[in-house]
Structure 1
Amino acid sequence: MLTRESALGGAMQPKIFPATAFVLAASLLLALFCGLGAFHSALAQSPPLAPDAPGSISGSVTDSSGAPLSGIDVTLHRRDSNGYYSYWRSTRTDTQGAYRFGVLPAGTYALSFRDQSSVYAQTFYSNALTLQSATPIAVAGSNVTDLNVAMPKAGAIQGQISYVVSGFVQSSRIDVHARVQEEWQTVASLWIEGSGVYSFPGLQPGVYAICAYNVFWDSAGDKPSESYPTLCYPDVYSSIDYAWPITVTEGLTTTDIDLAFGVEGDSATIGGVVRSSVGSALEGILVHLFSRNSSESSQYSAMTRTDAAGRYEFRWLRPGNYVLLFVDLRGPYLGEFYDDSVSYSDATVVTVNRYEKRLDVDARLSLGGTIGGKLSVLGDEKPDNAYIQLLGAPPPSWWFPLGYSHYDPATGAYRVSGIPPGIYRMRVEGRLNHMTFGAYYGEGAGRYDPEQATPITITPGAVIDNINIDLGEAGMFDGAIGGQIRAEGRPLPSARVSLYASSDKELPLVELQADAEGRYFFGGLTEGTYRIGVVDPLEIYATTFYSDRISPVDASLVSLEASQQRMDVDIELKPGGWITGRVIADNNRPAARFNVYAWYVLQNPGAEYAYGTLFPLIQRATTDQNGNYRLGGLRAGSYRLCTGPGGRFPGGLLACFGLPPRSIEPYQAANVEVRAGQTTAGIDMFVGERLPSNSYLPLLMR
């Protein structure tokens, strides 16, 4: 074993074995290159040290008399950074009622205990009713013992759920709640489809409340979806605080806790009649109801339609504040919020209490106008979808908020109804082939300038058709980029040329091969900015981006105006070099199908290089079955290399050249020098846990 004195004087020890001297020299060079901290890190990983005291949690489970309970499911929950517990692991108690969770990372945990037979009541440590109120258990590399619980005999709650309203598909979540720490907390939950019997076994003796949340929809699809608010036993819609207490006794089942959705209970009702401005009833008007209670965590909403007499009604409402919106989806009537308001914020709030029926919330809708026509893109294709806006004239004015539009992508036809009388300019945005096309209604410059767009006058009851709009303009795809690829002054045939959008530096929009004269052409381009990159398939010449740049990150932008064609984007390639090496795992095993990534090191970065001194390259290599790789098409210079798992689902980095095992910071890695026309070999990387005996670390940077 080398002493401190022998290590310091190692150069003068002629009797040291050559292998030892080799490792020693490597260690000293590594210390000089990476710093003493990195050197100590490398030594600490050979072999890796086990924690002094792996975290663990253990205890026992008994019944109320102290007799051990075997086969009890014990679940461990871990608290996240938001304070919520999630499932972590589970086990069962042994014949002595004991349980244990070992090798736990530092964190805060909670425990739950459940008897599958429901003879004993579900319990949370220490004998809490809910996970939310369970005692937090801190683990930080220590053994936490004697977390013992005594499970009492269980009781149960059973009842029937039913629906007064028929013809609808029903689904309900039923919850058991308990008053814990001055708030209602959920003890257990279940989902039930349709009417039927529900049961909650395994409850601790105590006092509970039962509530259910229901969603139902029309199976025929010809009525709006609606939902009841939460219903608590027996017929309480207003608040869980009004629910009747349900007492659970040890070893007994409390029955007949029935819930019936559709009964009036203590709910409120809002209703009324919708008429035209001349007093005739309006059928089929869509009525939206929104709750407006600031204390609610989520706002309740519902919809219905008026009947032949213009009547509508919302039943089973909680006490509180509500806002109503009336919309004519098919005809010419103007939409409005109650009462005669065009905005949610200015709407009249309707307030109801328990058992109250407000059936006088009426509305009168005035006549508006309708605009219709067809949409197209460049006179040929129909948009996949469209968004229509109306701007009051002259601008600036308010965007029309209550116009309801319908667009049919099969025919390109659209219709906007319920438009207030006035003068408007119309703007349309359509999506086709994942591209957005927009224009105002009008000709010439007015198509893109609201000040010059053609105005449309709406009068009460007016129906204006044939307002057709062609999105885009002729020549918008006539842009082109082209040029010639050369290497050492000569055309480079078959070079692979890539076109990148300025916003995407990872994947090219399209790739093609240069012709026999090294020329390339990208057509069908719209106005914008692009980047061009060139790869020599033979890797004799270095991958280059316009103009003489290293990667898409710093490539110069090629700007195109509408219909512009730039045929002068020439690119000159320089001779490149190669890097070869091997990726090795523990026991000298080859690391097959690993990706090798490279960064170019800028020697004198200027202010224009906002990304720092390292530039990621698009070039990467994949190791073969023997762990070997070859990375080519590199311009002369310095590089940093790192590696990580490849394959269908690639992982993150595992190692970088010149760093201790599991160090993955390219900015701290060793430089790898590449010369034009030459191969830099032996650039090996280690992805295991233990430092190999023959040392993979670079000596004198290889």
Structure 2
Amino acid sequence: MYFRDYDGVYLTEYYDDKPDLNSADPVTVTAGATTTVNAELTPAGVISGVVTAEGSGLPLANIDVNVYDAATGSYASGDNTDGSGVYRVGGLAAGGYKLRFYDYDGAYLTEYYDDKPDLNSADPVTVTAGATTTVNAQLTPAGVISGVVTAEGSGAPLTNISVSVYDAATGSYASGDYTDGSGVYRVGWLAAGSYKLRFYDYSGVYLGEYYDDKPDLNSADPVTVTAGATTTVNAELTPAGVISGVVTAEGSGLPLANIDVNVYDAATGSYIGGDDTDGAGVYRVGGLAAGGYKLRFYNYSGVYLGEYYDDKPDLNSADPVTVTAGATTTVNAELTPAGVISGVVTAEESGLPLANIDVNVYDAATGSYIGDDDTDGAGVYRVGGLAAGGYKLYFRDYDSIYLGEYYDDKTSLASADPVTVTAGATTTVSAALARGGRITGRVTDADSGAGIAGVSVRADRQDGSTPYGSATSDANGYYTTTALYTGVYRVRFSPPKPYYSEYYDNFRYGDDFTPVTVTAPLTTTHVDAALRTGYFISGTVTGSGPLGGVYVTAYRGADSYPTSSAYTGSDGAYQLGPLDPGPYRVHFKPPDLHASAWYSGATTYAGATVINVTDDVTDVNANLTIGGRITGTVTGAGGKPLANLWVYVYPAGSVNSVASGRTDASGGYVTDPGLPTGEYQVKFSAPAGYTAEWYDNRSSQAAATVVSVTAGVTVTNVNAQLASYASGTITGTVTAADTGLPLSGWVYAYNSKGSSVRSVYASGGSYVLNYLPPDTHRVRFSSLPSPYVQTYYDGKPDLSSADRVTVTAGVTVTNINQEVPVGGTITGTVTGSGPVPGVYVYAKRVVGGWNTKSTYTGVDGTYRLDGLLAGGYKVQFSPPSPLIGEWYSGTSESAAQIISVTLGATTPNVDATLTTGGFITGLITATDTGAPLPGAYVSVYSTTGSYIMGYIYANRDGEYQTPGLPAGNYRVYFNVGPWVFYLPEWYDNVPPQTVKLTVTVPVSGVTPNINAALDRGGSVSGWTYSGVTGQPLNSVYVAAYSAPIYSYVGYVYSNNWGFYQMTKLPGGSYKMYFSRNGYKPQWYDRAADFASALTVTVSAPNDTPDVNAYLRYPYDVYLPLVLRGAP
């Protein structure tokens, strides 16, 4: 039961003292009897007041007063003011409320109490039970825009024209109205200011426009509105053109309903408008300006083929239609009956129909996607709208319980069986899907054992190219992957912060992993992961306030690798990590006019503060200042705007870009982030057919004009007109030699010097290599679907033997077609005591070793290497421990048998029978911290120094285990991997240059505890500069040689900012060598050779800094001054 006081003096309630119907107590009524239900109502609060006009103080009638709950924003109640401006809102519970005052006539501006623009900023009003709270309001007079809209020429008033008003500064919609029968409109509620108007006729009889006779909002004339006054704005609309017609069925001539008709601008291809045909097949598209248009007719039901007018396949080839203002152009169309593919999808094991199976249809010739449908509850699908021809189908289970397949039971689009479709007929194609296998497990915190939610799990098949499986861990850390084919998988765990990613089982990097075997439809269980946390750098970025969207990057010390990055939130806060211990520099790049900076406050990498991370580091903050910017326009020949080109800004003489911008459709660009006060040089990238240049029309940075920038100021008119170059074109097709079907892949053009000058993707087998400089070119076809092999034109195996294609400026060389052969194949089986899955099989071409292939054996121990060029190969088998790896028919590469491979043929039975050996295990840690060094790796050598095996990575606990080894004596070498501040060594704690201890491995079983504690090494660091400009120079080759005996030790390259750090150096004396292409090499310090170079002393584990180099051009010559005519 519901009790309500219409006067609002008491609060409404449901029996018995309940707030709503759902919670109300039920009352039982008996026939013939009276049930007594009494109620006590609580006194309500009231808000009342007077609304008057600001300035005059006159009361305002018919003002709508709305009351909202201050906490939730929910509407509570409301009232309208009477003739005296008085309102009263009762029935309010005690609490806080907000009020809105709205004038329906638009003569006064809307406001929230007290004089606030919106509900969020409104002042709350406190209401007490049984009492009246007085809230008065003074409303500001609004401005009004009013006028008459008429037809151009006749001057007749136009009804139902939409008039929209936008804020001139922001473009935001402000208000609007429709014209009445006299063409009059009136838009109130406008604050004083500037506005723009749009007039639009939804009937399409007249053209829309922006005031005053402008095509868009940007170019519209602004209109000034004054508070309390009416601004008159009239408009005359131009009669529009119309396209109308009838769509019928080809053959029968019957009208077709619900055909979608779209109209496009013939010149730009932009969509203009559209309509659907009615029951009589009639459509009408109005509101068209005089000009040329193209039309598309499309049947969503798929019973008829879509087409472009007049009977064309695409927009480019469509016939244009001319439209005249105020006239109707008739365009009819006859649509051809389409073919249909339909069928039933069932479960292979039960025959039951499967719902929600996605069926995709592809063009059999080009591989292009055509259309799709989902099966219904009966497993039925139907894909219509198909032209007569060949198609291929793919069936995919959205729920990922069943394995996807191509028709008929194929694993790839290339191998799928084509289906023939006939116009007007239905082709039946059914499929039975097999249930997939799965991987399940749990992801936990390595320290606490608690489950981790939201971990992304991905399983990639290593013995084939079928789709990967994926999952996300639940609230307790458990996961189950999507359906998987039978095979061998690598499983990766990608967690949210603060955890590190890892690969199963307990490996940090993907170079090493424990293979997981799946046999469909069975589930492989207990593929678990215990994840570790790393350290974090965090802070806040501010300007005039918190700055959101700032891109923050942490660069690791020695190699300055960008280790972690994040964007600041709206509060300016960010967090980087997880991070390994070590030195980092942090860079802040804002998305606006604030200038980039390094922590703390530096403008250059050299000035950045190094953060030594040994724990979480907080308060790495930045306060960014406003910078300057550069703007301009980039055009081509004849002043044509060039869009989507990048413009880069460099400090004068520097090789590092510090800001950039991208040109828009008009060729204009604006750089960001902001630039500190200074001198800069600007580089303009170029599209194909044009030459890149530096400002101002210079070919190199050395010759570029310097642009001076002042913080807070925009430098304008830094323009470029790029020069085009004479070019020609090569076109052709790529097809399969065995089937003649088109192949998609990459096509490359090489000039007469062998340099790649242009590449393009041949989608559907057709390619166009344009903007080629005049020359003799060679063409390569690669990245083709398996089993096709890379080929050079015309059917040649390599670049040196490829046929030359002569390109002349302004000429297109056609029919450079290539039939691509099927590659050769090697197959075999790897066994031990039975089939061995997860064996890495590697085929190396004896001549031209770049053409290598690799795979893993499957569950049954078989493997297949296809897409091989003709020639001789050696095959290596690398199994999991403790099996012993080998080459085919040989224990080493030199002894391995060469296998002959022929194009299009399979070389079978390249088998291996592996035996179990002994193996070595151990632990790799850091001497200074005792912490494990995951990713450090082990190599094994014979006692004579012959390399046996390598890259045996330590897992997250620093543990490693070698593959099987024949019984014998070995030497074990420990390399640092990513831990560049540590020294490699031989077992047992022996430096690389000294005598190595041997490790004895038995016939079978483990040789344990071959451990290494790596010492921290010393380092040499410094900066490489251009001796010409004084700016940092990147990519300088820096090599260290021991001194006084000339012996090469190692090398690094200077990073993007000219900094280098040569690590892994034992204490001792060294000499440093510097070189870079285009510069004269030198020894430290500016010495010509090793003998005269200065010696640099390293004291491990310390760094020897400031070993700098200033490189000059090789042609710099210094001569004595000679005065002509001197006595």
- TM-score bracket, shorter-length normalisation: 0.3 to 0.5
TM-score, normalization: structure 2?
0.27
Q: Which has more radius of gyration?
A: 2
TM-score, normalization: structure 1?
0.40
More helix by share: 1
Higher relative contact order (CA 8 A, sep 6+): 1
